[in-house]
């Protein structure tokens, strides 16, 4: 069985497209068009993005490693760190992903500073400012996604599976007391419990269990329940049951 709440794979698109800050051309308030990527840099980034889209993480990493960070402009550095983040995230290297997330902040800060300077005198800078704000919001979303992925990995590490054989429709005659002469019904009476079983590295647990049935048990009222429990807190994370056994 697959514990979907814990093991569901997050498909996250983390590319952030926005106009770069307007560049001053010698006079405060005078701006040029948003800078474009250098041709060589654009080729490298496009090659890395194509490899990343096909989950060829090693190829994407090799492409992005050819860039000289010290020679990249803020917008180019931001895009490069986004790609490095996606590579690490796709590989499940969350510490590296977090490092690239933090490395993107200076580039975004440089873009924000340029936007703050440009928007004072240029109406077009307002659109760039909104785009930069969206980029910062997207960064927050990636942080939240990373925290969720880390929490899922931690929860999966403590999750264990149990199988319970239980019987319904049991009756108990009362011989004394205020219920004397009555018959009390009992459901979900556990007859046998198997576990705990652990998940494999892929987050799955495929189990086969043969229960020995007592002759006094009514097979038509027997059911099997499977539940996942956090071994540390005791919380039941997920449960399901089969129809009556035949």
pLDDT in tens, 118-158: 666 666 666 777 788 888 888 888 888 888 777 666 666 67
Cα 145 to Cα 243: distance, rounded to the nearest angstrom: 37
The chain-wide mean pLDDT, for the chain, equals 75
Q: What is the rounded average pLDDT of the residues 44-69? A: 91
Q: Is the pLDDT of residue 208 over 70?
A: yes
User: Closest Cα partner for 238 from 230, 224, 227?
Assistant: 227
- Rank 28-37, 46-55, 146-155, 207-216 by mean pLDDT and report only the highest: 46-55
Cβ contact 135:18 at 8 Å = yes
Would you state the pLDDT for residue 120?
A: 65
More confident residue, 18 or 109: 109
Cα 94 to Cα 217: distance, rounded to the nearest angstrom: 51
Cα 196 to Cα 41: distance, rounded to the nearest angstrom: 53
Q: What is the rounded average pLDDT of the residues 165-177? A: 86
Helix, strand, or coil (residue 62): helix
Q: Where are the domains of the chain?
A: 4-156, 158-241
Cα 83 to Cα 89: distance, rounded to the nearest angstrom: 10
Mind listing the pLDDT tens digit for each residue in 220-237?
889 998 888 887 778 888
Would you state the pLDDT for residue 153?
A: 67
Least confident interval from 47-51, 231-235, 238-242: 231-235
Least confident interval from 47-51, 59-63, 153-157: 153-157
Mind listing the pLDDT tens digit for each residue in 183-195?
888 888 888 888 8
Reduced DSSP (H G I as helix, E B as strand, rest coil) percent helix, strand, coil of the chain, to 5? 45, 20, 35
* Token digits of residue 118: 């440009």
**Residues in CB range of 28: below 8 A, 6 or more apart:** 117, 121
Would you state the pLDDT for residue 13?
A: 27
More confident residue, 79 or 14: 79
Please report the DSSP string for 190-220 in residue order: EEEEEEEEE--TTSB------PPPPTTS-GG
Would you state the pLDDT for residue 184?
A: 84
* Token digits of residue 199: 């998940």
37 pLDDT band, cuts 50/70/90, is: low
Helix, strand, or coil (residue 84): helix
Least confident interval from 14-23, 43-52, 79-88, 221-230: 14-23
* Token digits of residue 34: 């948003």
**Residues in CB range of 40: below 8 A, 6 or more apart:** none
Q: Is the pLDDT of residue 29 over 60?
A: no
Read off the pTM: 0.40
Distances, alpha carbon 79 to alpha carbons 3, 144, 168, in Å: 35, 19, 60
Q: What is the dihedral of CA 145, 151, 156, 159, to 10 degrees?
A: -140
Strands (E), 93-167: 159-167
Q: How far is CA 149 from the centre of its chain?
A: 3
């Amino acid at each position: 069985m697959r514990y979907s709440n814990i093991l569901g794979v997050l498909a996250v698109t983390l590319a952030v497209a926005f106009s770069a800050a307007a560049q001053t051309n010698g006079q405060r308030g005078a701006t040029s068009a948003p800078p474009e990527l250098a041709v060589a840099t654009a080729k490298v980034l496009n090659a890395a993005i194509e490899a990343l889209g096909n989950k060829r993480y090693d190829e994407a990493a090799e492409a992005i490693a050819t860039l000289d960070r010290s020679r990249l402009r803020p917008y180019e550095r931001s895009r490069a760190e986004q790609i490095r983040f996606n590579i690490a995230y796709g590989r499940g290297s969350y510490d590296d992903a977090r490092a690239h997330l933090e490395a993107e902040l200076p580039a975004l800060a440089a873009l924000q500073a340029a936007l703050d300077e440009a928007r004072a005198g240029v109406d077009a800078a307002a659109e760039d400012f909104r785009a930069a704000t969206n980029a910062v919001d997207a960064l927050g979303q990636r942080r939240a996604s990373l925290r969720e992925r880390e929490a899922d990995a931690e929860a999966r590490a403590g999750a264990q599976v149990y199988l319970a054989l239980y019987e319904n429709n049991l009756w108990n005659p009362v011989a004394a007391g205020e219920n004397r002469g009555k018959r009390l019904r009992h459901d979900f009476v556990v007859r046998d419990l198997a576990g705990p079983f652990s998940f494999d590295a892929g987050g799955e647990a495929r189990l086969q269990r043969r229960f020995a049935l007592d002759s006094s048990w009514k097979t038509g009222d027997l059911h099997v329940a499977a539940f996942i429990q956090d071994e540390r807190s005791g919380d039941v994370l997920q449960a399901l049951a089969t129809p009556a056994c035949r």
